[in-house]
Structure 1
């Protein structure tokens, strides 16, 4: 007699829901109907809080929680095993080749010089949940300070903190602890990469992102790894390497599949839309923007990773504007949509994200200028220059000055 197939979370959820509507179950489980639909059709991986809510609402006696835990464990193992590693390694090798071929020499030495600061090379104290929480809180504080005052205000401290995490990882007691610390190292390393990039050192930022992606792979964190590869692609497109940027973004989205968090996948589609726009491919750019907005509806599920916590409608409107500025050069009718998106982004932009507002203002200045509204464009560019100067953002200042002189 053949063995019965193993029950999956999706199959059990469909069976237990029966005739109960998605909306009704969502109310009982404090979960959106779109999330439940995605879970039933295996378009997303169940998080434990959502699994617990559904389990309780359907009286499953813990079965849905057990199935969710088993599925997440299998995913973690698959991400960390040879198949996952080979896919990630292939993308990282692609990045290494681009870096060697297209970036200026001497970045390695610059990276070594910058990898110093308070506490660099000093092992952290013994591990534990409290220590991990303290490091997570410090990383969050660094992020808030960067948003308010800019990269220069936090850079040395962030680099020193990252070095402490690396030292802790090197002395971890066992595989489980090494995996947890590797996930933290991916986060702090990616943050250092962003800060370095914002200060105008693209080549060095690239090495930080590359190393952070490798740590995310070791941690089995698919969402973090694909997010970091997307960040690498953004550097490439800013440097004018559009086709190579697209190759990395394509690889990140292929690797992400349906398993990476919807917020990460939404952001990756938005970034790839910009890559397509730089290549004047209107159809594929607009397709990716549609996918980005669709995934945004599923992003706030209670487990959005902190490193992508900024993703919201304002952020997607910013990327929509970026794409339309490019596409409008060939198709002027798209400029109006881009201007509307950027006006909405500015109106909803968080007051705590001071540094990031310079990027939105610059894009708005460019699209208003393209629409013929020179006075508004000049005002927006002037504000962007002031903010970029105040926050020490070389990347934003360079773009804002170009827009102001445009």
Structure 2
């Protein structure tokens, strides 16, 4: 009972500590909040990004050549490929298209030149599609330009296809039929611009990344989850060291030696100090997980696995805090420990957050972070955020539990010898 009483007394004192409230709770949430409020106005209810429809006007001045209507192909792609994003309408001429943009009735005007089809078929033909845009906009016009470029590249491929066909026919001594070449250009352009393979399936399909948790987890939720996980791990280790430092503080203030004069055994007193650190970090991790899930709508994963990962984080941070504090001669070394050792190790462990966009969990930068316990903690939370199962999560969880136990034993032994 004495051990629990000591732990609860220290816990109440730590809950009123400005250091814990600021570094343990406010800063991790505030960092994620910066990203949330910076991009929250752009996000939809499902965590994705809402883009307003892009009004586009198309002036098709092209004339069909040899059965190929390249202008109609390009206009059709603009009208049909992204109906929820691009709202394309046709106008009679280039002047009307530019006027619509100048009057801000459209964001982009696509002006298809008169000789586009002829340029696709004729070996030396040239034509340029003009894109006239509102100079104050960038994202919408960029999307339209990318779509136009895709179709124009298909037309360029059609020209190459006709040249290759003509060269092969000539190499075999066959007559080069102009109508056949026009048919090649027409079929290739329609095929490539439509983005379909020979069997009718899409050449390009947009899918969610493998292992994503659900359709509601959009880019904003993924970013916030990564940042929140990194900040939580970073500051939990700080809190563990700061809580363990209270042992040195009480020793220097004389309260701990006086406590040792009481009938309570010294191991029970130290156990109470250790238990208070464990309970403090448990409360910290629980609050951060619950509050971030409620405010930022972060899906941390399966509750059982989240609980196991949280336990592993608390144990490894508690053990590491006790060990690193036991190595300090006095509190004057705390600045070096906090400003140097913990900061460097924390940033190294967060490499996985900084390189979250790098494909593959085993990329060299992410693997380098595993030389510190913070790296294993971050790796575990990243796996949970991607919907990983117990088979994948068990490795970082086991590493944290084992490392935490080793750190705790070493730290406890050093404190026992120190106050023997």
Q: Larger radius of gyration, structure 1 or 2?
A: 2
Name the TM-score class by shorter chain. Answer: under 0.3
TM-score, length of structure 1 as denominator length: 0.20
Which structure is higher in helix share? 1
